[in-house]
Structure 1
Amino acid sequence: MMTRFMVEVTEELVRIVSIEAEDEYEALTKVRQLYREEEIVLDWSDFLDAEFNILSDD
């Protein structure tokens, strides 16, 4: 008899973004804003890794 398992799949997408800013805080703020406005959209070409984990029955 087959048993059903819950398997968690997690993908990691990574992109390096070059941005001009006065300091690190401003650089992070600008990139976060671009991401929220969907000017930066990660896709299959940004794929770095995938993890597969069995979830417990708790």
Structure 2
Amino acid sequence: MIAAVIAQAKGIITAERRCSPAEAFAILSKVSQDSNRRARGVAQALVDRATGNRATP
């Protein structure tokens, strides 16, 4: 489940930023570190935003 959420988030970043999956993961990791949040939480929030699900704070 965790890997699936991170993969979805990488796909979203790749599409939005027109970058490689490796670059998308680097972006996800940087946001995670900069916000002091786990990568899974950042990824879930991104997926929720993209799908219109506002359940995740």
TM-score normalized by the length of structure 2: 0.30
Say which structure is richer in strand: 1
TM-score normalized by the length of structure 1: 0.29
Looking at both structures, which has the greater relative contact order when contacts are Cα pairs under 8 Å and sequence separation is at least 6?
1
